[in-house]
Structure 1
């Protein structure tokens, strides 16, 4: 089967390079969407737009009542590419620096394989080409539009290329893999006064400083040391003049958690802390939360099944267990809200250069990962279908 997929190597490389040369930012993936739909049409795979600039492809299997979904994100980043590649980005300050061009190509490779080898297709397949993963998120919108229905998806799979792993290696984790994210903004309202007469005012800077210092104790005293959570204050603004007691401070930050109960607890404790400090200081406060992505939690059974498949294909030494969850976010989590499934990391690094990083202007991947990624997804589909 690998040899059969490898015959599409040139096709995979050409498709990926086409996406790489014409990257598009979140919510503007119009040409990308058009390319994907054109390729699916050439494969005679039914498809339709979703979440404005995304695509859902559907390849039905006659008399099958089971369905597996696969997802790839398709948006690029506002980064200027510096590597002088023959297929370098043609768009100023836009680059596929997170490997979404590779994810899209791998998913198209899987679609191509099963469209050409229908006898090997084990069940209904759905292909989710998701926009806006880097910004507002496209997964939740695709799910809300019904891509997981008609036919209902029983299992969903996804992957992300990782440059710190060489081609030929994968990384998995049972359960928690990525954190949930939330933003918050706090406005402290004090009372202005001359700096020489502080008792006549309420110093919003002092109040804000007290809250910010105490925020760090929320992690150390309300979150188990065996759990993962972080709160970061990224911005603070306030004050009009050096000799005036500040009457308003606004600070904002982000919160990352890997457990929904911890997520809600920290929100409650943060709000309680802000109001408590303001109560004794005489200040007033406004606090606003902006909910981000949910935590990505892999199904343990599906993950173990994938692990066996990958160990058989790659050897045990090339299948890594991720020790701890990442506090980075990934909105594949919204697909996992609807069906069991798993998300894993695919090695794309050059063996002599494993210090590369995502979201950098010199991000580079070994294109052999496209062939292996397609093969592993095909094998994963066949294996998972047997357990549905």
Structure 2
């Protein structure tokens, strides 16, 4: 502990736990493992911030309720019977079945899900075939499902299995599905979110704190919020003069490093209000 922090520690009216969360980008994620090791024992509230390159540096976005989606991952293997392209009647075309499956799965959201419920089914990979004059024996599909509601989440999984089975049967091919339930949906506790919002307005000014737009992206901090009330917010890092406007995962992604200071500032104001009873008590 640095000397300045140690010198003033007696002024803190409580305890702060700083969590370094590993494996955020790799399911099942670091949060789940840390929770299993009782890292949240004696913790009352949890808070997290994430840089946002679509948000101007100096701005902070926060909002209640569902803010990030549950993320699931599936793989589908199809096996038919290869043959010569000139004699399709002697083969069982896995590529054609796979193509029909792609279009069939894309209709789940538009025809099986209540339009008022958010959901995404995306096929990100489709591989089949070896040559222009050979009927494909195998096909492979890989995709993701994003949802907020758990009943919708399980309904989509069931529909993927039903549609795959039906199309496979219609084409007389074998199919196998690998389905992984990933991170849960991230839900910001409304009461704590409002209190943190007030702390952020105190620190950054009312004009700098905006309403956070929910996303169908995913975040394994959601596991912490299943255990303890709290909130997850975003801190802007966009500065076109510094060319930090590129989205996350883009090859040119970079940040305005003032955003790191702003995250520290945000947590300092939250900790100050919490340790002085403002966040944990009635407004």
TM-score w.r.t. length of structure 2: 0.87
- Deviation for aligned residue 1:215: 1.0
- Deviation for aligned residue 1:227: 3.0
Q: Report the counterpart of residue 302 of structure 1 in structure 2.
A: 192
Q: Report the counterpart of residue 341 of structure 1 in structure 2.
A: 230
Q: Report the counterpart of residue 320 of structure 1 in structure 2.
A: 210
Q: Report the counterpart of residue 291 of structure 1 in structure 2.
A: 181
Hey, what's the Cα distance between the residues in 2 that align with 1:362 and 1:237?
Answer: 28
**1:192 aligned residue (76, 82, 85):** 82
- Deviation for aligned residue 1:298: 0.9
Hey, what's the Cα distance between the residues in 1 that align with 2:220 and 2:40?
Answer: 15
User: What is the total number of aligned residue pairs between the two structures?
Assistant: 276
Deviates more, 1:233-242 or 1:208-217: 233-242
Classify 1:358/1:277 alpha carbon distance in 2 versus 1 (closer, same or farther; 3 Å). closer
Tell me if 1:147 matches 2:39: yes
CA RMSD of aligned residues (A): 2.3
**1:124 aligned residue (1, 15, 27):** 15
Classify 1:356/1:249 alpha carbon distance in 2 versus 1 (closer, same or farther; 3 Å). closer
- Deviation for aligned residue 1:164: 3.0
Contact 1:169 1:318 in 2 (8 A): yes
**2:66 aligned residue (160, 176, 182):** 176
Contact 1:180 1:329 in 2 (8 A): yes
Runs of 4 or more off by more than 4 Å in structure 1? Answer: 351-354
Contact 2:57 2:237 in 1 (8 A): yes
Contact 2:68 2:185 in 1 (8 A): yes
**1:203-259 per-position Cα deviation (integer Å, ceiling 9, x unaligned):** 211111111111111011122333332222222222344344322211112222222
Hey, what's the Cα distance between the residues in 1 that align with 2:225 and 2:7?
Answer: 29
Deviates more, 1:283-292 or 1:362-371: 362-371
**1:331 aligned residue (220, 228, 235):** 220
Contact 1:192 1:245 in 2 (8 A): yes
- Segments of 5+ residues of structure 1 without an aligned counterpart are 1-41, 45-111
Report which structure shows greater RCO (CA 8 Å, sep ≥6): 2
Contact 2:239 2:245 in 1 (8 A): no
Contact 2:57 2:238 in 1 (8 A): yes
Write the mapping of 1:81-92 to structure 2, written as runs, cut at 5 A. Answer: none
TM-score w.r.t. length of structure 1: 0.65
